[in-house]
Amino acid sequence: MKVAMGTFISISIDESKAELLEPGFEIIKDIELSLSSYDSNAQIFKLNNTKKSFIDNYTYEALKLSEKYYVQTGGYFDITVGSITKDLYRFGEDERIPSSKELYNATINFKGLFFNTQEAYIDDNIKLDLGGMGKGYAVDKVVEYFKSKHTKKAIVSASGDIRCLDRCHIDIQSPYSESFLASFDTLKYETGITTSGNYKRYVKSTKNNHLINPKRKKPAQNFLSITLVSTISNSDLDAYATAVSVMPKEKAYSFLDSINVAYILLESNNKLIVSKNINRFVENLKMH
Q: Over range 64-85, report the average pLDDT.
A: 94
Indicate if the pLDDT at residue 5 is higher than 90: no
Indicate if the pLDDT at residue 20 is higher than 60: yes
User: How many other CB atoms are found less than 10 A from the CB of residue 120?
Assistant: 22
Q: What is the dihedral of CA 60, 91, 236, 15, to 10 degrees?
A: 90
Indicate if the pLDDT at residue 3 is higher than 90: no
Mean pLDDT, rounded, of the chain: 90
The per-residue pLDDT for 158 is: 94
Q: Over range 22-40, report the average pLDDT.
A: 95
Q: Over range 5-23, report the average pLDDT.
A: 93
For residue 203, CA distances in Å to 85, 135, 144, 208, 226 come to 11, 21, 36, 5, 20
Return the bridge partners of 192, or none. Answer: 163, 230
Indicate if the pLDDT at residue 97 is higher than 70: yes
Indicate if the pLDDT at residue 237 is higher than 60: yes
The per-residue pLDDT for 92 is: 57
Secondary structure of residue 20 in the 3-state scheme: helix
Cβ(52)–Cβ(119) below 8 Å: yes
Question: Which of 1-15, 118-132, 224-238 is least confident?
Answer: 1-15
Indicate if the pLDDT at residue 203 is higher than 70: no
The per-residue pLDDT for 98 is: 64
Secondary structure of residue 171 in the 3-state scheme: strand
Q: What is the dihedral of CA 142, 261, 70, 254, to 10 degrees?
A: -170
**Which domains does the chain show, CATH number per domain?**
13-122 (1.10.3980.10), 154-287 (3.10.520.10)
Cβ(123)–Cβ(51) below 8 Å: yes
Between 241 and 178, residue with greater pLDDT: 241
Residues ≥6 apart with Cβ < 8 Å to 212: 81, 84, 85, 218, 219, 220, 246
The per-residue pLDDT for 201 is: 46
Q: At 105, which helix (H) or strand (E)?
A: helix 100-105
Q: At 113, which helix (H) or strand (E)?
A: strand 113-115
User: How many other CB atoms are found less than 10 A from the CB of residue 229?
Assistant: 28
pLDDT band at 205 (very low <50, low <70, confident <90, very high): very low
* Whole-number Å distance between alpha carbons of 64 and 272: 34
Angle at 78 between CA 72 and CA 81, to 5 degrees: 170
* Whole-number Å distance between alpha carbons of 59 and 248: 30
Kindly provide the b/e burial profile for residues 210-219, where b requires at least 16 CB atoms within 10 angstroms of the residue's own CB.
Answer: bbbbbeebbb
How far is Cα of residue 117 from the mean position of the Cα atoms in its chain?
A: 23
Q: Over range 129-138, report the average pLDDT.
A: 95
* Whole-number Å distance between alpha carbons of 270 and 225: 10
The per-residue pLDDT for 87 is: 65
